[in-house]
Structure 1
């Protein structure tokens, strides 16, 4: 059963009406290998747009992602109080326009377990008049739950992200990878992404 949205202290948050999504995302069904618990058969995994009902599961995935970043880049990331992402922030992503969160949900629809996510955001046009006009969608975050990795879920989230971006009329999909995360760099290169700009940094 989908967990209800948690009650929040302070003022309430109105639920925004969700936009209609491309049929390809509503119908995309993905398959993985046999259940590890020995139950037999195969588990169905669907990639779909997130809703605010997914908020608790999204926060759990963001917490896992944030902990990974803190371990890899303690000079960039630190612990903080409060939820991994606020209700308002997730609501803004879902409301768009030009942004969304896609989730990989495993199991029957009424009992689906969210095991991965991708946050897609628009990149503002370059202010420089000499820049070639491009409409860019950024994969701002992509994470798969630790116990579901290496099963093709990440690849399927990327494929669904590309499909969603094309539906938005995007010419390119971009993302950033920290230099220490070589596994992620190899993952995206295998899916056709290439280095566009090398950002360098040094202490002042």
Structure 2
């Protein structure tokens, strides 16, 4: 399958990242691969924030996965630091290859390295396959999430 590298995302990776974000029924409704300007602006903001890790999985020069890891210092849980894993996407050609597991394991290990005592993630209620995947990796469904569009 070739060598896999998990590395920080760059501006050159944005087209591939946005294509993966848009490559499902939910993403197709909310992403705009034809205009990368907002994504490039977001990458600049993320790159300046030491608590944000937007990474890609690169296999032989091709971006085959992406995720965002956010480190959140807090007061609750006796001042615990936690992390949130978001926007996990694996290229369609790589699904079932074990890359998703490697990616989540990387995020958990990086969370430990950053001093986190808890790793959280959310998954849309309709993504039942993803829910089973996360449960196999030791995550437990523990909260009900809410959103407010602004």
TM-score (norm 1): 0.62
1:114 paired to 2:63: yes
Q: Aligned in 2, Cα 1:84/1:45: closer, same or farther, shift over 3 Å?
A: farther
Question: C-alpha displacement at 1:55, in angstroms?
Answer: 2.2
Provide the residue aligned with 2:109 in structure 1.
Answer: 163
Q: Aligned in 2, Cα 1:52/1:173: closer, same or farther, shift over 3 Å?
A: same
Provide the residue aligned with 2:92 in structure 1.
Answer: 146
Contact 1:51 1:94 in 2 (8 A): no
Contact 1:135 1:171 in 2 (8 A): yes
Contact 2:7 2:56 in 1 (8 A): yes
Distance 1:85 1:160 in 2: 27
Once the two structures are superposed, residues 71-106 of structure 1 have per-residue CA deviations (whole angstroms, 9 ceiling, x without a partner) of 7xxxxx546573385211112223321111121111
Distance 1:90 1:181 in 2: 26
Provide the residue aligned with 2:40 in structure 1.
Answer: 87
Match of 1:135 among 69, 78, 81: 81
1:183 paired to 2:142: no
Provide the residue aligned with 1:57 in structure 2.
Answer: 16
Which one has a larger percent helix, Structure 1 or Structure 2? 2
Q: Aligned in 2, Cα 1:57/1:85: closer, same or farther, shift over 3 Å?
A: farther
Unaligned runs of 5+ in 1: 1-31, 33-42, 72-76
Which one has a larger percent strand, Structure 1 or Structure 2? 2
TM-score (norm 2): 0.82
Unaligned runs of 5+ in 2: none
RMSD, aligned α-carbons: 2.4
